[in-house]
Amino acid sequence: MRTLLIYPQYPDTFWSFKHALKFVHKKAAFPPLGLLTIASMLPKEWSLKLVDLNVAKLTDKDLAWADCAFISAMVVQRESAHEVIARCKRAGLKVIAGGPLFTSEHDQFAEVDYFVLNEAELTLPPFLEDMQKGYAKPLYETSDFCDIQKTPAPMWELMNLKHYASMSLQFSRGCPFNCEFCNVTALFGHRSRTKTAEQIIAELDGVYNLGWRGPVFFVDDNFIGNKAYLKAHLLPALIQWQEGKKGIPFNTEASVNLADDQILMEMMVKAGFDSVFIGIETPSEESLAECNKQQNKNRDLIECVKLMQRAGLQVQGGFIVGFDSDTPSIFQRQIEFIQKSGIVTAMVGLLNAPPGTRLYERMREEGRLIGPMSGDNVDGTTNILPKMGHQQLREGYRKIMQHIYSPKHFYTRTMTFLREYKRPKIRPPLDFQRLLAVFRSSIRLGVLGRERFQYWKMFFWTLFRRPNLFTLAITFAIYGHHFRKISKLNNVQ
């Protein structure tokens, strides 16, 4: 069976990093891990070709070669997914679709031949078995969660490493918490299911042996869901793996209670972690109570962020406005929080209700659902009727984005962070592309950009005061450029 594994194109969004990737001559931030993983579950005798539309074109030759196409996507890739499916069908291919987009809205894709939904570890084997017998059904789904200790390592060799800024791998799925707006527990369960340390080391060896020398993103819903296993097994194994190697920093996603555990933070940093994405959401205790974000309540969130930064972990933060308890003062409070915390990469969005969440059910009961989600939670849209009124919420949101991404405040915040941050020992190598990025940024941002004054101020400040963080500072300047472009595109700048 000649098989295409196709990943549709992302639109130009906050997380696409499109305007930042140009500086380092990369085409996409991460490879499509879901497709690489299912590739390892397909029969060994099949011929496979990966086409990630974010880094390459789907050619007529590809379509003429193939018998079938396996497609994976997130909601944000909806439009491109429709186009890809239509092309595959015109070329006479059988289309098999799975992954988050199709799991949440398969009824919108009439042209797909077979839906293999939820976790492929459970749904793909029965599909393949039925297909080989000649009577595959149109839909395979499950409400069970698989044992990821049986998940095979992704088939890294299918991708072209040089197009990506970071690699990704997955240690765990699921999250012990129960936030009202989050669909992680519905999709992946409450219990943190972990791979073994041996599996992760084998996966890391896989990318390392292919020649990867750059950052690796652990794409876990909550990396610290099983702290005991981390401390006893995974982190010691990672610390040992890093010995004698250069330039493989890690980053991940975790809950804010990471700040309570100094030993865990120290071990993570020693293992190579240099940044974590944390769902901070809001400085309002009422709104935290409303969405049941227990782990963020009754604590000094700024101090938690600083503790992590001082330990050597850059904190990237998710923020939400539009909770029922939010009053008009929330916008200024969010601005002050973000500026004070030194969270440079602040993902601020309007409250949305993803299907499958308790929030979605509540909004439906209250008659406040107004349509499907856009899939991009930083575009200033929402699928619910906010209590404060859409106009006021949108205006307040625009005020936050204008403030935190204006050159003056963005660079001030970056310097707040650089003052606090403990430089990690494990850093990506300063290769030719990164050096070129410094040069490109000095022209694009320092000469042509409207932030030229702030750019040079930070450039020299870092050079003299925090020289070890110089390339990180330049990376932030480039991110700022991307975030401003996206805000403009979303009409919130």
Contact residues toward ligand B12 (CB under 6 A) are 10, 13, 15-16, 29-30, 32-35, 37-38, 70-72, 74-76, 96-101, 104, 116, 119-121, 124, 168, 170, 173, 182-184, 187-188, 219, 221, 354, 375-377
CB closer to ligand B12, 31 vs 449: 31
Integer Cα distance of 460 and 206 in angstroms: 40
Helical H runs in 91-234? 100-105, 120-133, 184-188, 197-209, 227-229
CB closer to ligand B12, 354 vs 449: 354
Assign 3-class secondary structure to 366-432. Answer: CCCECCCCCCCCCCCCCCECCCCCHHHHHHHHHHHHHHHCCHHHHHHHHHHHHHHCCCCCCCCCCCH
Shortest spacing between CB 442 and ligand B12, in angstroms: 27
93 in Cβ contact with 65 (< 8 Å): no
CB closer to ligand B12, 99 vs 449: 99
CB closer to ligand B12, 173 vs 306: 173
CB closer to ligand B12, 30 vs 405: 30
| CB-neighbour burial class of residue 335 (10 A; exposed 0-12, middle 13-18, buried 19+) | buried
Backbone φ and ψ of 167, nearest 5°: -95, 165
CB closer to ligand B12, 114 vs 410: 114
CA torsion angle 344 350 355 358 (round to 10): 90
Shortest spacing between CB 383 and ligand B12, in angstroms: 12
CB closer to ligand B12, 170 vs 414: 170
Q: What secondary structure does DSSP assign to 30-66, as a single string? A: S--HHHHHHHTTS-TTSEEEEEETTTS---HHHHHH-
- In 3-state terms, the chain is what percent helix, strand and coil (to 5)? 50, 15, 35
Shortest spacing between CB 11 and ligand B12, in angstroms: 7
Shortest spacing between CB 149 and ligand B12, in angstroms: 13
> Within 10 A of 142 (CB to CB), how many other CB atoms are there?
13
Q: Which amino acid is at 5?
A: L
Shortest spacing between CB 154 and ligand B12, in angstroms: 7
CB closer to ligand B12, 100 vs 407: 100
11 in Cβ contact with 381 (< 8 Å): no
Written as six digits, the tokens of 167 are 């690699």
CB closer to ligand B12, 73 vs 437: 73
Shortest spacing between CB 13 and ligand B12, in angstroms: 3
Contacts of 318 (CB under 8 A, 6+ apart): 277, 278, 279, 280, 281, 347, 349
Assign 3-class secondary structure to 256-322. Answer: HHHHHCHHHHHHHHHHCEEEEEEEEECCCHHHHHHCCCHHHCCCCHHHHHHHHHHHCCEEEEEEEEC
Shortest spacing between CB 226 and ligand B12, in angstroms: 15
Integer Cα distance of 298 and 289 in angstroms: 10
CA torsion angle 201 207 213 216 (round to 10): -70
Name the residue whose CB lies closest to ligand B12.
98
CB closer to ligand B12, 94 vs 306: 94
CB closer to ligand B12, 73 vs 230: 73
Shortest spacing between CB 206 and ligand B12, in angstroms: 14
Shortest spacing between CB 169 and ligand B12, in angstroms: 8
Shortest spacing between CB 54 and ligand B12, in angstroms: 8
Shortest spacing between CB 69 and ligand B12, in angstroms: 9
CB closer to ligand B12, 70 vs 360: 70
Integer Cα distance of 129 and 124 in angstroms: 9
Q: What secondary structure does DSSP assign to 121-156, as a single string? A: HHHHHHHHHHHHHT---SEE--SS---GGGPPPP-G
18 pairs with which residues across the strands?
none
Shortest spacing between CB 375 and ligand B12, in angstroms: 5
